[in-house]
Structure 1
Amino acid sequence: MFLGNESLQYMISIFSHCNKKQTENPDHLKNSSWNKTIKAFVNSVGSRWAISPNPDMFPSDSLVHQQRLKEIHEHIISMDGVYTTAILENVRKEQEKNARIAREAEEKLRKEYEELKRREGEAIAKAKFEELKAEDEKKAKEKCEEEIKNLKKQVNELSSGGCFGLETQVKLESGRIIQMSELQTGDRT
C-alpha cells in the first residue's frame, strides 16, 4: 500500500452518488451493494464509513443530510491523532528498503542463473569436445587397423610366393603410388 498499513487507522470510507433509499438508510447500501472487496476495505479502515448526502436530493437543512454529516463528523473526532508527513516518510523509507532488498535478491538470483548457465554451457562444450575427440580417435584407430590389415596381406603374399606380383603397388616417400615394376634404384619408399 502506497501510504502504508498504518494509514488505514486514519481513513474513513465515504460513499457518494448514493440513491435516495441508500442515503436514507445506510444499512440498505451495505446489505445490497457491497461485494467482498468493499467489505474487506471498509473492515480494514476500522469499519469507519459514511454516506455523503446528495444536496440535490437532500437540502442542507434536511434531517437526512444533517444525520449523514454528523456520522462523518463523529468518525473524524473518534480518530486518535492524524496521519503526518513523518509517518509517510517512515513508510516511504520502509518501502525503499523493501524494494532494495527485492532488487538485491533478484540480482543474486540472476547471477546464480548466469553462473549455472555458464557452467552448464562449459559442461556441454566439454562433452561435445570429448565426443568429437572420441570420434577422431575411433577413425584414426580404424585407419591404422586397415593399414595393418593391408600390410599383413602384403606380408602373406610375399611369404607365400617369394616374389612380388605384377600388380603390387608401392607408395613412394613423396606420396605417389606406383607399380612395383616401375620402381627404380634410388626411389625412396
Structure 2
Amino acid sequence: MCIRDSLAGAAVIILVLAGLGIWLVVKPDSTSDPVASRTSTSAAPTTTSRGSTTRTRTSTSTPPPTESYDQQLMALLSGGHDSSNCEPVDPPAPTILATVDCTQALTPGGPAFTRYSLFEDRGALDAAFEEAIRVNSELVQCPGSGVDSPTTWHYTETPDQVVGQIACGTYDGNPDLVWTKDDDLLLADAQGPNLEELHNWWLEFG
C-alpha cells in the first residue's frame, strides 16, 4: 500500500469518528427533563377523557420580575380579593414560593375563604392540585359544565388553549372549588356556602 492510500484511509476514519461525535452531542436526551415528562403524562388523560369547561377571559397583568413573590401573588388574586381582605402566609410550605389567605370576597357570590399559592415549577403545581382534590370528601361536576371533576378549562375566545385545571366538590362539609392557572404557576382553593354561586363567581372573577 502506498503512503497516499494510507493517508486517505486515516482521513476517512477521522471523518467517521467526528460525525459520530457530533451526533452524540446534538442528540436530545428524552429523559433529561423530569418535570416536562411528569406534566405531559398527568395532563393528557384529563384533556381527552373528561372534557373541558369554559370561562370568559378577565384582564390580568404579569408582574415585573423585580417584585417579591408575595407581590407577584397579590397581583394574581381573583376579583373581590386584595390587600384589604388577604394576608400572606409566612413562611409558605415547601415547594411553594408564596401563599396568601383571603377572607370573604367583596364581590357578589364570592367565597368565604380562599387560599392562593404560587409554585416554583409545573411539577410542584400539578402535585399540589392532585393533593387538593384528593382530600375533597366528594368530587362532583362543576355547575353547568356537564363533565366530571377534575377537568381542564379554557377561555371562551381561545377554546384550543388549556389554561389550567378545575375541580368542584366538598371539603370539611363546605362547597369547594379548586383551580390552577398553569402559565402563572398559580393554585387557588375557594370555599363558600353554595357551590353554584361559588362557580358563578369564578366564571366572572376567578
What TM-score, normalized to structure 2? Answer: 0.27
| Structure with higher strand content | 2
What TM-score, normalized to structure 1? Answer: 0.29
